[in-house]
Structure 1
Amino acid sequence: MHHISREPDAEAVEDEERQYGHDPLIRQELDSKYKNRPHNHSKTLPFHDLIIYLFNPLIEHQKVHTGPKISRNKQGRYGPKNPAPHEMRRNIIQRFMSKWRNDVGDDFYPAMRLLLPDKDRDRPMYGLKEKAIGKLLVKLMKISPDSEDGFSLTNWKLPGQIAGARGAGDFTRRCYEVLSKRGMRAAYGNMRIAEVNELLDKLAAAQGEAQQLSIFETFYEKMNADELMWLIRIILREMKFGASEKTLLNIWHPDGEAVFNMSSNLRRVCWDLTDPEQRLEDDEGGICLMSCFQPQLAQFSLNTFQKMVDRMGATEEDPDYWIEEKLDGERMQLHMEDASIPGGKRFAFWSRKAKDYTYLYGNSLEDDNSALTRHLKEAFDPRVRNIILDGEMITWDPESDLMVPFGTLKTAALEQQKNPFGGGMRPLFRVFDCLYVNDQDISNFTLRDRYNALIGSVRDVHRRLEIHHHVVATSVNAIEPLLRKVIAEAAEGLVLKNPRSLYRLNSRNDDWMKVKPEYMEEFGEALDCLVIGGYYGSGRKGGRLSSFLCGLRVTKNMVDSRCMNPMKFYSFFKVGGGFRAEDYDKLMYLTNDKWHDWDRKNPPTEYIELAGPDGQYERPDVWIKPTDSVVVGVKAASVGPSDSFKTNFTLRFPRFTTIRPDKDWQSALSIDDFLALKAQAEADKQKSMEFDRSRKKTRKRIKKDFTIAGNNGNVKTPYAGPESKVFKGLNFCVLSEMIHPTRKTKAEIEQIIKSNGGSIFQSTTAKEDILCIGDKRVVKVASLIKGGYTDVIKPSWILNAVAQADIDGPGRERFLVPFEPNHMFHMTPGTRQIVTENVDVYGDSYARDLSVTELRRVLDDMIPVKNSSFSPADFLTELEERGKGLGEMRGSIFSGCVAYFSGDIERDAETRMAKMRFEFAAGVVVDKLTEEVTHVAIVDEDRDAVRSLRKRISERAGKVPRVVGWAWVEESWKEGTRLDEERFAVVV
């Protein structure tokens, strides 16, 4: 029940002034903007309550959580004794929120912005990263930067004796270890959440180190080491305490996530949703003008074109679907409204991640610092008073009249701010959707209607703001010619859209689907580049170099040779993938004692040049002289422009292949050499761009189940499965044979029950608590169902219970698998309520291990059940598009790889394990040598078979897959990275 509202006391008023301003006019403005803004009746909780009641319990819950124990109740049914792990997590969070509501009031925003600091749009970035915080702490504690503790804080990625190997790469752990020895207090301090928020606001506004240090001194005096560690995590916006954004928002209020999706505003979530019992009305859940929302995203699909088109929801009356070019830029939303300012219109821009870019693109038509809006005087129909547009901000080169690949957008925008009417590259906003016009949210209109509103409201401003047009198609045959066109133009790909669809906030679904070319080849042969810098890793690689900066040699014709050091290199790319442990060891052996710490104030510009102001982009932790370094072979998917490297371009998805001891800095790749290779690769790609998209339908083989039973249903062979006492004391009546998941006769089921301690009866009334087993609607089963008082259990429960008993092993307390919905052939209403509590919303059991088939079904059903927008394939693609990745995670080693295993993959445990590991690590296994195949893994190395296989591969159109031994999978898994295939090539 919601508590009764109380009047704020003096301390509550003081807390509110701390956080929202001492000027009453500011607070009145907040009350005007947020009509339902709550006011706490008491002062906020101490900061350490977050640690005691939330952070620590959730972390402990992560470390040790037990599954539900099963017990039998008086009615003979089985159910969980303890809550499931996710329920325990919810209980921890709910208890803290209830404590806040009771002890403080309904304004939870002060706490929420500390729990989700990365989602707090009201507080600017602090401009502080780990090294800067480390320097502040060194000065705060008045210790020497060269002391063991001082060096440990400012060089936190290095291994140190203070934190040991465990602390290497974990900055907050290092801070805790140092602060716990020098803190002003051992016990928790008395700072309240309101005071912490007040000081964090001041820290975000602080100018220079002196102001930052003064604020840190206050924290240092009033907090112990544990509190300071969590404070630093809040400043770094890296919390990781076991609760996601979605979990916190929805536990606070059932509409919490929905409101955040449409506003990206934690204030609104906390201030508009104070009572969990009061749900939003339908007209309250829409997009708001000048309030950032979480946009709809395109689903990435690996299905055939036909399947993708089938999902577009076409009908005979409306067979259309739309095809758009996928743009290589930054997703952006534009808000415009009439205002009493020069030019009469006010603008706002937000990125997909809700970053405010209004400062860059302009807030009005007369904004002298605008990179875009000053050019939009004719962009809107005079009848348009306000509007919200969704689109992509791209970089356009007026000289070539072409779109420039992603990586130079911000540079182009900054240049336009300085020179708005110059001829250089500029930002261009391509609009593909309209979601709000003249005070009306139209996101619930169809895409077709929204597009009509768009073309009626917006006018193209040449190469500044333009409507992104589409092709209307009715047949799958329309996709391939357009895809060939975007390949020829080196564009991103296509997006298919359902014109009948509504706009769904923060969702990926089949209404929008991306189609990308599958021809992407590695960029040329291995590039032999010189290592010029190194970066220390974190996590399991903490304390040692885990990735390396490579450069291109500067040639004499690029600069005045009289002033140039012949050993100068420009930064080109970073590489960390593809290294085996022995590769790291060899590289470090060859460069031992030759590394130098990078001095930001005195960089080695005579040898190495970086990009950015003062040459600070992609700055390595250590550097090495060209004469002392080694050349490494690296392969990559492609090359693209980048402002982060001195060469102004970089490799996409680089991967180490080998160390080249036969080469030195003088024979390493130069800028001229690379440009020549790049030109040749582009020419070759144009010649080999033909590929065949035809799909052949394959006939599925149906494997029939084999049962061993005589004509009379008696078992011919004795039961050879596990034997236990799992059914001891239970009485059964088997009414029919078993049909699913495998066929077993009535006699076989009875034998399994008896072998595991159960008693068999042929009458359902022989015992009072008899369990009726049936998988078919035979006469006896139909009679029981008609009676309405008896549960009928499927034989599959028998098999699951025996299998779990076998896993649990002998000598343990008996564990009987509880009934689940898919175990029941028929349930009475009372049983149904209990049984449904034994699985989660996806049907995943709380009490037993699932089979592979069951797990696949659960995973397949997850998105429809939860209506989740998350797509693993799309998530990986988005990371890679932005030059990121999943680093050392084993689950991503074979991302993007499609393998055909040639030979008997089931021949032994090792080959079966290789296939399973490949699939676990994001690889896809197919049973045909189709055009999607990127790798052919040879299991049986028969020379004639391999020769025949290579001949088939060479004769087919499209890309040519790698032919490797299956050991490539095992070795890559062992090393935790995808290894170069050439080491495992199978030759005949």
Structure 2
Amino acid sequence: MSDDDTTMVDINAIDQDAANEAQMMYGHGEMTERELDEKYPNRPKNKHKTLPFADLYLNLFNPLQENKRKPAGAVVNRRKLGPHGGMNPNDVRRTIIERFIGRWRREVGNDIFPAMRLIIPDRDKDRGMYGLKELTIGKLLVKMMKIDKNSDDGHKMLHWKLPGMKSSSQMTGDFAGRCFEVISKRPMLSSPGNMSIAEVNELLDQLSVAQKEENQLPIMQEFYTRMCAEELMWLIRMILRQMKIGATDKTLFEIWHADAENLFNISSSLKRVCWELYDPGMRLEGEARNIHLMQCFQPQLAQFQMRSMEHMVARMKPAEDDDIFWIEDKLDGERMQLHLEEDVDAPGGNRTMFYSRKGKDYTDLYGHGLSDKSGSLTKFIRDAFQSGVRSIILDGEMISWDMIHDKMEPFGRLKTAAISEQSNNSNASTHTRPLYKIFDCLYLNGKDLTKYTLRKRREALNASVHTVERRLEIHSYVEARTASEIEPLLREVVANRAEGLVLKNPRSPYRLNERNDDWIKVKPEYMTEFGEALDCVVIGAYWGSGRRGGNHSSFLCGLRVDQQAVQYAQVDPEKCLSFFKVGGGFTAADYQDIRHRTDGKWQDWDASNPPPLIVLGGFAENRQQEKPDQWIHPSDSVVLEVKAAEVTGTPQFATGCTLRFPRFKRLRNDKTWEQGLSLSEFKTLRSNIEEGKKDKQFKVDDERKKRSTRKRKRALVIQGQEEQNLSTAYAGPATKVFDGMTFCIMTEALKPLKKSKTEIEALVKANGGTVVASEKDPETICVADRNLVKVASIIKRGERNIIKPRWLYDAVVMGEADAGKLRLRLPMEKERHVYAVKKGAVEEDWEENVDDYGDSYCRNVDEAELLEMLNDPAIKGEDEDEDEEDTALLMQQLRTEDPDFDDMPGWLFGGLTAWLDTGLDAEARLFAFAGGNAVTELEDGEITHIVLRTDSEKVDKIVATMTSRRPMPRVVTASWVTESWIAKSRLDEERFTAH
């Protein structure tokens, strides 16, 4: 038997160390191993111990990153990689991965799952989230290494985006790199440690279930003791699931096995990919290539919108006798699969499973079966399935429904609605509830339906499922034949501020994990009705990360408050109101020009003493939304010309609105800040544009509008708004939430509502509490919102906790929601409710009352607080798996607003079609590689850009030919393609117009 032939290896040939490792990684008892063998009877078993953890970065990560830095098309001398002479970076990448996999097969065995889950940790759904992000890891390391948080190294760890005086420019903005710099000064090991890949996996499993800091700290301590600085740097990247090793998942899957990507698409399981496809000669066949009941799969996605409705309809390949396409409302929820099967051993004789688009299991939240009383959905839909349905897989969107106003709520409220419904065992109406909107049926009674057309799948859906109103509903659609039928529906979407539309081809099969022309999304923000350029002054800047670490990567722009706008803005003149952030469209030269003109004029933003000239957005209690890292006096600043898709309302900026998808066009060095756009000028411009919209192509079909049966949106009532009525005199006790409690009201209330001491005392009494004038009784609860002398004295002595009046408001709202039936004691939240903490208090007890996002487990949040939490930079993006909203919208936002997203070259020219002049083969390949569609025929009706050589004599002829096109393609020189690639951002075409 050869070294590579491990598929039939005898159990005696497996050394004891390898057996011990398998036991450590995959189970701590005989039953667990037996269950794994039953579920994966042919799973491979390694014959030797796993490789050292250090081998991952020495022989895989570092070589791939070094190869990544080579320019496209470069030839690499690969003395260490083989005898084949020069190779381009793509071939070198494959060789590096192939060598690592080959070595693993020879020296370890065919079970590569332990390594793969560290190489692509974001694809491993068998290990839970760690609950750790940069700031939390930084705090753990500072505590573990006993570093003063105010020292230079402590500041580097806790403020990793800020440029450091002594930091390497390459490490600035790279958290793991910053950790490497700090750990390198105080390492426990100066050379790679002896931890194996299996040992690292075991500790990471423990870390994922530890969650609390006191449990995570000893695990991180062991890593620190047994790893060198570079090993720890890569470990931190694995924990953050931010590897960026220079190879995609697709490449790794393809090299491991020809069917690996397909199996991952139908299972979302990295473990299955590694255990079922360990033999390159064994292919997926028949049923193995289909989706399976109770196993998550990667769903079909909708293509990005194209430049015209006609093109979108044409791309759906209408047949001569069937030119119908479907139009559905796009839902603002979470993509969800529902699997149901008969099970005589389960309560009610069935089992259900719920999976999100990213493969997260939500069954505990929505229900394990139709008789599961702990679920928030399944117990209400027992009658939704026809009697003949034995097994089914449904594809749809889980949304949150407001029962009071009978409308869909924003995605962010879905989890809160689902949790509240878990305790609702009746079909009684609650304020919000999860509603499952189904738009596809993919499996029925043992039959995979993905190969059938959408029309046939809908027939199966209608025959198998019926509506349970406001619990489970089949999503409706409108049949259309021409592009003109889309516009009236899209106008309704704009009027209702809804998500958009999805166009679907009823003749199409279901394609797993594909984004193709059979489903195309149409969103209002993609429209160009507000495409005019605006000249605005820069008033702030944000530090970048990654390749832009240590430099400003995006800027905060504002509108001047001139004399005409003083009354409208209700602020003093000569101030600037925050308006939008822009980070896309800049070249390296643009950044350099801005640095040159503003060098030495930037100041760090001090939240406790903000500059009086700059007004930020937010709510009364927090007027520092979107606060920049640094600010600049408008008179010392520059003016940017920016174009955007549209203006949308938001409280995050002081203007009350902002630009959707802003993109830098050029630097207006010919304008001073006083010539930048003012608030009154912007109001006039916006008014003119709104009037002009009425005459554009995008018009409302009045007759269709009259026939529409859609309900008009009612006025929005924000939950928690009842706080504003607290000043109203109470006729008697409204609730008993303060029954048996004694309060000493020491000051008036400042936030979120200004209330006098008398008003607060009346509130306490009206809800069952007792008010006293002295705080001497230790059972008396002290309430204060200002640091007066008496309050300061108590704080200095450190003998009492002091709470904010806000806790009283929240407790009353919670009690009123319960209709006064229960006396609810609302748990306190440190940041929101506690003004001062007595000495020796256990602050962790308060932290357990909120999740990682600051969202209370015990009370509902209102819209204002939700916005505040979502924009808190300390918690923004804490949990990757919670960000389940539509990835397409997210990518559009990242492309235009997040400069780091430009590091993904595959999206640079996405959605564009170009004809390139003869002799521009390299530019054509680059354009296609970066997501564009390069065509060879000038008559192609979808062309958006004509790319010519600088010395081309065809300009006049081509321009004359294209004049009749609507819209006319942009005619640019080849440098637009190459310089955009170098800048990693799509540059404005006007700079490269061919003459």
Residue 537 of structure 1, CA deviation: 1.7
Scaled by the length of structure 2, the TM-score of the pair is: 0.63
Residue 140 of structure 1, CA deviation: 2.9
Q: 1:638 aligns with which of 622, 634, 646?
A: 646
Q: Which amino acid aligns with 1:36?
A: N
Q: 1:548 aligns with which of 555, 564, 572?
A: 555
> Secondary structure of 1:52's partner?
helix
What's 1:651 paired with?
659
What's 2:133 paired with?
129
What's 1:332 paired with?
336
CA displacement, residues 36-66 of structure 1 (integer Å, 9 cap, x when unaligned) = 3444343322212223333344445556798
What's 1:239 paired with?
243
Residue 307 of structure 1, CA deviation: 7.7
Q: 1:435 aligns with which of 427, 439, 442?
A: 442
> How do 1:582-597 and structure 2 match up within 5 A?
585-586=593-594, 589=597, 592-596=600-604
CA displacement, residues 78-127 of structure 1 (integer Å, 9 cap, x when unaligned) = x9778876565444434433433444333322111111101011122223
> Secondary structure of 1:187's partner?
coil
Residue 525 of structure 1, CA deviation: 4.8
| C-alpha separation in 1, matches of 2:292 and 2:54 | 36
The verdict on how the C-alpha distance between 1:187 and 1:983 changes in structure 2, with shifts beyond 3 A counting, is: closer
The verdict on how the C-alpha distance between 1:333 and 1:974 changes in structure 2, with shifts beyond 3 A counting, is: closer
Select between 38-47 and 430-439 the one with higher mean Cα deviation: 38-47
CA displacement, residues 354-373 of structure 1 (integer Å, 9 cap, x when unaligned) = 34445665555577886655
Q: 1:353 aligns with which of 358, 363, 366?
A: 358
Q: 1:225 aligns with which of 225, 229, 236?
A: 229
| C-alpha separation in 2, matches of 1:283 and 1:32 | 19
What's 1:879 paired with?
891
What's 1:387 paired with?
392
Residue 191 of structure 1, CA deviation: 0.7
Q: 2:544 aligns with which of 537, 546, 549?
A: 537
Residue 263 of structure 1, CA deviation: 0.6
Residue 283 of structure 1, CA deviation: 1.6
> How do 1:727-738 and structure 2 match up within 5 A?
none
What's 1:792 paired with?
none
Is 1:119–2:123 an aligned residue pair?
A: yes
Q: 1:287 aligns with which of 287, 291, 310?
A: 291
Select between 611-620 and 209-218 the one with higher mean Cα deviation: 611-620
What's 1:43 paired with?
49
| C-alpha separation in 1, matches of 2:68 and 2:947 | 40
Residue 167 of structure 1, CA deviation: 2.6
The verdict on how the C-alpha distance between 1:485 and 1:333 changes in structure 2, with shifts beyond 3 A counting, is: same
> Secondary structure of 1:887's partner?
helix
On the 8 A contact 1:395/1:409 being kept in 2, the answer is yes
What's 2:725 paired with?
none
> Secondary structure of 2:482's partner?
helix
On the 8 A contact 2:117/2:124 being kept in 1, the answer is yes
> How do 1:808-847 and structure 2 match up within 5 A?
none
Q: 1:687 aligns with which of 678, 685, 695?
A: 695
| C-alpha separation in 2, matches of 1:643 and 1:374 | 39
On the 8 A contact 2:577/2:653 being kept in 1, the answer is no
> Secondary structure of 2:143's partner?
helix
The verdict on how the C-alpha distance between 1:896 and 1:511 changes in structure 2, with shifts beyond 3 A counting, is: closer
Q: Which amino acid aligns with 1:268?
A: R
> Secondary structure of 2:294's partner?
coil
| C-alpha separation in 1, matches of 2:949 and 2:280 | 58
What's 2:322 paired with?
319
Is 1:22–2:37 an aligned residue pair?
A: no
What's 1:54 paired with?
60
| C-alpha separation in 2, matches of 1:461 and 1:557 | 52
| C-alpha separation in 1, matches of 2:933 and 2:324 | 31
| C-alpha separation in 2, matches of 1:296 and 1:14 | 41
> How do 1:543-692 and structure 2 match up within 5 A?
543-550=550-557, 573-578=581-586, 581=589, 585-586=593-594, 589=597, 592-596=600-604, 608=616, 620-622=628-630, 634-639=642-647, 650-656=658-664, 681-682=689-690, 684-690=692-698
The verdict on how the C-alpha distance between 1:425 and 1:663 changes in structure 2, with shifts beyond 3 A counting, is: farther
Pairs aligned (count) = 775
On the 8 A contact 1:610/1:619 being kept in 2, the answer is no
What's 2:266 paired with?
262
On the 8 A contact 1:573/1:645 being kept in 2, the answer is no
CA displacement, residues 523-548 of structure 1 (integer Å, 9 cap, x when unaligned) = 26555767565321234432111112
The verdict on how the C-alpha distance between 1:542 and 1:969 changes in structure 2, with shifts beyond 3 A counting, is: same
> Secondary structure of 1:433's partner?
strand
Q: 1:208 aligns with which of 212, 222, 247?
A: 212
Larger radius of gyration: 1
| C-alpha separation in 2, matches of 1:275 and 1:315 | 43
> Secondary structure of 1:489's partner?
helix
Cα RMSD, aligned residues only: 5.6
What's 2:196 paired with?
192
Identity %: 46
Scaled by the length of structure 1, the TM-score of the pair is: 0.64
| C-alpha separation in 2, matches of 1:162 and 1:607 | 33
> How do 1:440-459 and structure 2 match up within 5 A?
440-459=447-466
The verdict on how the C-alpha distance between 1:435 and 1:876 changes in structure 2, with shifts beyond 3 A counting, is: closer
On the 8 A contact 2:365/2:418 being kept in 1, the answer is no
The verdict on how the C-alpha distance between 1:127 and 1:609 changes in structure 2, with shifts beyond 3 A counting, is: farther
Residue 189 of structure 1, CA deviation: 0.9
> How do 1:955-974 and structure 2 match up within 5 A?
none
Q: Which amino acid aligns with 2:124?
A: D
Q: 1:253 aligns with which of 250, 257, 262?
A: 257
On the 8 A contact 2:64/2:96 being kept in 1, the answer is yes
| C-alpha separation in 2, matches of 1:418 and 1:571 | 37
Gaps of 5+ in 1: 71-78, 693-873
Is 1:409–2:411 an aligned residue pair?
A: yes
On the 8 A contact 1:598/1:623 being kept in 2, the answer is no
The verdict on how the C-alpha distance between 1:612 and 1:266 changes in structure 2, with shifts beyond 3 A counting, is: farther
CA displacement, residues 309-364 of structure 1 (integer Å, 9 cap, x when unaligned) = 67756666x63553233625454322234566677665443333334445665555
Q: Which amino acid aligns with 2:486?
A: L
On the 8 A contact 2:310/2:483 being kept in 1, the answer is no
On the 8 A contact 1:627/1:664 being kept in 2, the answer is yes
Residue 276 of structure 1, CA deviation: 2.9
On the 8 A contact 2:297/2:512 being kept in 1, the answer is yes
Select between 880-889 and 242-251 the one with higher mean Cα deviation: 880-889
> Secondary structure of 1:270's partner?
helix
| C-alpha separation in 1, matches of 2:291 and 2:447 | 9
What's 1:828 paired with?
none
Gaps of 5+ in 2: 701-885
On the 8 A contact 2:945/2:972 being kept in 1, the answer is no
The verdict on how the C-alpha distance between 1:436 and 1:688 changes in structure 2, with shifts beyond 3 A counting, is: same
The verdict on how the C-alpha distance between 1:662 and 1:472 changes in structure 2, with shifts beyond 3 A counting, is: closer
The verdict on how the C-alpha distance between 1:314 and 1:971 changes in structure 2, with shifts beyond 3 A counting, is: closer
| C-alpha separation in 2, matches of 1:191 and 1:471 | 60
On the 8 A contact 2:438/2:475 being kept in 1, the answer is yes
Residue 969 of structure 1, CA deviation: 9.1
The verdict on how the C-alpha distance between 1:357 and 1:689 changes in structure 2, with shifts beyond 3 A counting, is: farther
The verdict on how the C-alpha distance between 1:114 and 1:974 changes in structure 2, with shifts beyond 3 A counting, is: closer
